[in-house]
């Protein structure tokens, strides 16, 4: 919770100095702090983020670099030196980055190696917001960055009286550089990437506005320098150029996965129209302000607005566009799956185990056009590599568990985003659900035969995470069923209708927990619900109890009714925050984060339990969902470097906050419902792509008045604990009256309960 006051003073000052040109559109970009969550390390995550300067859903971002080349923790708030400003695509510290190259200004003696060229800095000399990053280093060099979709505009101001150099680092693996002094350009490529075809390259072009005084190439293994050399290729090859002392130099840079010619086209198309750095920055700020004004919040504190727009920024960083525009402006791309060129859209850098829960559902509200393009990209990826993606970076990694591409596809379809062939989607998912792919745990389905026959994946030392996998497979099979039902495919409905209830096979009424079974159908012993790991992925039995998104009523029935169910949720919070490392053998950061938030066994820092607080709505106690939604948004999130209670995860944790701050949450993607919580702000106006506005008004809202007393939807009384996607898309007003005490009798009718498949109409 550090530095809230300091950050807010800077944000408010920026708002007050807004030009009159922004009078009609509020300058909300200044609220967003890109340093949010950056005070992280291997042992403890406050977000595991980095300050990405970007436009929404760009192909790449730009960030300062405090870590060594190849380090997944590329920027850590507690460090005090910078060693580069790099193009980035990283979606998680745990998988590192790809296609990286960096620039570093140097004054005085030419030094090239990343350890030698580091320069100290202070956060008081740093500005970090979505459209603009600026830092004055202790050596008096000032670096500024702003971006476009596939490019960036940087400005380096060197001090007078000392040589001024700019060093281009080829990062890890192979690279090539060509210096063209007469054109004031550097071109080249890098191929650092873990998951991509062998011929993968990121081509780049840099265009400067000042002449080169001297130049040369170097390599980053030993630091050998070749003065006056204009071209080089091999491991870690880079370039350096010298300017006159005191120079203020601008560099435009763009890149392409397709070709050098396309990199040049991207530069001219995206940056050619901007003569000055400030022009590019204004265009970037305009994009962010347009997006932020489409979700306009009113009535909260300045701190709450900073948290909201910082989270809305991160909710719109991923996925990354991977397509480019040809000379006619039509999309095409180099496929990270088959290495060929294809027409159409492609997106990458997203792990669906994290983001199917909230990030993609939020996209269906604010970015439905992009969501539709992404659905096309999913099926294109399946055609190119034989499998639906689960975690693309940029090719398929197979990371984590579950087959959640079907969740994205079904969620889009039931919400009216119908840009793809549902029969192709069902065929692809059927293949996914019955076969194991060659990559990680989420590529296809391991032990599909046993799961289909017995209703669960048997647990053994070879099937770690089996219980978690089984629960998520059941949800995914529901999504397959739901899509098949929506398009009238009875064969596919039959294929998935039984398996979507497989969660029942893992509920043990004796312990009242979801448990592991062996291949003989016996409960695996010994059992301790506090033990992490083993059959549970990144959690324990307390966390995985609730992963029946699609049939909460069925879970309530298994657990003995509403009172038992809500008492069990209560117990999550009343339990001590005891950690038992279990199958992990030692503490992982998620355990430490659960202990730090001090909310019992509630581990909001990881995905499996993030929806749990909304489940009171299904069991006659909606007021508790309202209470805990406000408690979590208030206690666990802020706009500072300590802004998150765990890994932010490609927009998922930010999207959880954004939706919850609106007063809704996507408990079960694949349906058209959002479950109601308690809005943070007195008023939110969502301007939809279709031009309509949906307003969420919370009269009498305050930090004390967190409970819904009554509600109307478009002027008519509204008692439901859910809101349909169509109601939002139609435009209108959802109006709450808030109070300091629970309305115990509100929202208790059967029709007020959110969707469960076992009670839905056949």
Q: Which residues of 170-207 are buried (b: 16+ CB within 10 A; e: fewer)?
A: bbbebbbbbbbbeebbbbbbbbbbebbbeebbbbbbbb
Q: What is the mean pLDDT of the chain?
A: 96
Per the omega criterion (within 30 degrees of 0), is the bond before 560 cis?
no
Percent of the chain predicted with pLDDT > 70: 97
**Mean pLDDT in residue range 135-156:** 98
pLDDT in tens, 448-493: 999 999 999 999 999 999 999 999 999 999 999 999 999 999 999 9
Instruction: Identify the pLDDT of residue 24.
Output: 66
The CA–CA distances, whole Å, from 254 to 212, 633, 691 equal 20, 38, 33
Percent of the chain predicted with pLDDT > 90: 96
**Mean pLDDT in residue range 619-646:** 98
Instruction: Identify the pLDDT of residue 8.
Output: 52
Within 13 Å, how many C-alpha atoms sit on residue 679's CB side? 25
Q: At CA 462, angle to CA 459 and CA 465, rounded to 5?
A: 55
**Mean pLDDT in residue range 149-154:** 98
CA distance 444 to 406: 12
> pLDDT at residue 19 above 60?
no
> pLDDT at residue 5 above 80?
no
> pLDDT at residue 21 above 70?
no
pLDDT band with cut points at 50, 70 and 90 for residue 761 = confident
**Mean pLDDT in residue range 279-294:** 98
Instruction: Identify the pLDDT of residue 7.
Output: 53
Instruction: Identify the pLDDT of residue 762.
Output: 77
pLDDT in tens, 315-335: 999 999 999 999 999 999 999
**Residue 68 contacts by C-beta under 8 Å, 6 or more apart in sequence?**
83, 114, 115
The reported pTM is 0.96
pLDDT in tens, 380-393: 999 999 999 999 99
The DSSP element (H or E) to which 532 belongs, if any, is none
**Mean pLDDT in residue range 524-541:** 98
pLDDT in tens, 665-700: 999 999 999 999 999 999 999 999 999 999 999 999
The DSSP element (H or E) to which 361 belongs, if any, is helix 359-366
Q: Are 616 and 624 in contact (CB under 8 A)?
A: yes
3-state DSSP call for residue 478?
A: helix
> pLDDT at residue 3 above 50?
no
pLDDT in tens, 707-750: 999 999 999 999 999 999 999 999 999 999 999 999 999 999 99
pLDDT in tens, 419-456: 999 999 999 999 999 999 999 999 999 999 999 999 99
């Amino acid at each position: 919770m550090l530095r809230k006051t300091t950050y807010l003073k800077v944000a408010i000052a920026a708002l007050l100095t807004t030009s009159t040109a922004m009078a009609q559109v509020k300058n909300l970009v200044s609220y967003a702090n890109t340093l949010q969550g950056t005070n992280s390390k291997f042992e403890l995550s406050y977000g595991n983020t980095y300050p990405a300067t970007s436009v929404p859903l760009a192909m790449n971002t730009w960030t300062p670099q405090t870590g060594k080349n190849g380090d997944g923790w590329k920027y850590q708030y507690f460090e005090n030196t910078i060693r580069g400003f790099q193009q980035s695509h990283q979606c998680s510290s745990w998988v590192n980055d790809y296609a990286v190259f960096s620039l570093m200004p140097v004054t005085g003696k030419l030094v090239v190696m990343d350890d030698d060229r580091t320069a100290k800095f202070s956060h008081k000399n740093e500005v970090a917001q979505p459209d603009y990053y600026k830092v004055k280093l202790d050596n008096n060099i000032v670096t500024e960055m702003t971006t476009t979709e596939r490019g960036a505009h940087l400005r380096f101001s060197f001090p007078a009286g000392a040589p001024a150099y700019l060093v281009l680092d080829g990062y890890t693996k192979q690279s090539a550089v060509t210096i063209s002094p007469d054109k004031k350009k550097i071109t080249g490529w890098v191929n650092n990437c873990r998951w991509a075809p062998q011929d993968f390259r990121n081509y780049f072009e840099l265009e400067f506005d000042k002449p080169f005084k001297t130049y040369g190439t170097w390599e980053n293994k030993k630091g050998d320098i070749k003065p006056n050399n204009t071209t080089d290729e091999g491991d870690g090859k880079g370039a350096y150029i010298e300017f006159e002392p005191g120079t203020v130099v601008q560099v435009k840079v763009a890149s392409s996965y397709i070709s050098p010619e396309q990199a040049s086209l991207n530069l001219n198309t995206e940056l050619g129209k901007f003569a000055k750095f400030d022009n590019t920055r204004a265009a970037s700020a305009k994009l962010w302000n347009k997006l932020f004004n489409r979700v306009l919040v009113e009535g909260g504190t300045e701190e709450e607005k900073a948290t909201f727009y910082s989270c809305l920024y991160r909710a719109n960083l991923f996925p990354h566009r991977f397509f480019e525009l040809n000379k006619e402006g039509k999309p095409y791309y180099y496929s990270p799956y088959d290495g060929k060129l294809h027409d159409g859209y492609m997106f990458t850098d997203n792990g669906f185990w994290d983001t199917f829960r909230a990030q993609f559902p939020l996209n269906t509200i604010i970015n439905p056009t992009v969501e539709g393009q992404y659905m096309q990209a999913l099926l294109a990826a399946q055609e190119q590599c034989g499998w639906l993606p689960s975690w693309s970076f940029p090719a398929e990694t197979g990371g984590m568990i579950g087959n959640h591409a079907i969740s994205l596809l079904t969620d889009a379809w039931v919400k009216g985003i119908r840009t793809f062939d549902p029969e192709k989607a069902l065929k692809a998912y059927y293949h996914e659900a019955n076969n194991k792919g060659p990559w990680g745990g989420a590529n296809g389905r391991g032990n599909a035969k046993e799961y289909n026959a017995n209703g669960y994946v048997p647990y053994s030392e070879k099937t770690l995470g089996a219980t978690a996998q089984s629960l998520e497979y059941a949800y995914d099979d529901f999504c397959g069923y739901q899509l098949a039902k929506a398009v009238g495919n009875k064969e596919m409905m039959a294929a998935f209708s039984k398996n979507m209830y497989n969660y029942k096979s893992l509920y043990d009424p004796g312990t009242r927990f979801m448990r592991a079974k062996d291949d003989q159908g016996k409960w695996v012993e010994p059992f301790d619900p506090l033990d992490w790991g083993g059959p549970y992925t990144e959690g324990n039995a307390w966390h995985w109890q609730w992963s029946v998104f699609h049939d909460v009523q069925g879970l309530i029935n298994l657990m003995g009714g509403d009172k038992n169910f809500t008492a069990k949720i209560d117990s999550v919070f009343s339990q001590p925050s005891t950690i038992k490392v279990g199958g992990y053998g030692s503490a992982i950061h998620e355990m430490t984060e659960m202990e730090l938030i001090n909310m019992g066994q509630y581990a909001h820092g990881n995905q499996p339990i993030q929806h749990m607080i909304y489940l009171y709505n299904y069991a006659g106690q909606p007021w508790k969902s309202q209470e805990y939604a406000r408690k979590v948004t208030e206690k666990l999130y802020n706009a500072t470097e300590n802004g998150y209670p765990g890994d932010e995860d490609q927009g998922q944790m930010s999207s959880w906050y954004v939706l919850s701050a609106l007063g809704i949450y996507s408990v079960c993607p694949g349906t058209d419902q959002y479950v109601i919580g308690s809005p943070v702000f007195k008023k939110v106006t969502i301007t939809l792509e279709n031009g309509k506005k949906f307003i969420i008004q919370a009269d009498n809202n305050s930090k004390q008045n967190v409970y819904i007393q009554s509600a109307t939807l478009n002027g008519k009384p509204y008692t439901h604990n859910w809101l349909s996607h169509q109601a939002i898309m139609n435009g209108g007003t959802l109006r709450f009256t808030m109070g300091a005490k629970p309305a115990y009798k509100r929202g208790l009718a059967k029709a007020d309960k959110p969707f469960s498949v076992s009670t839905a109409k056949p």
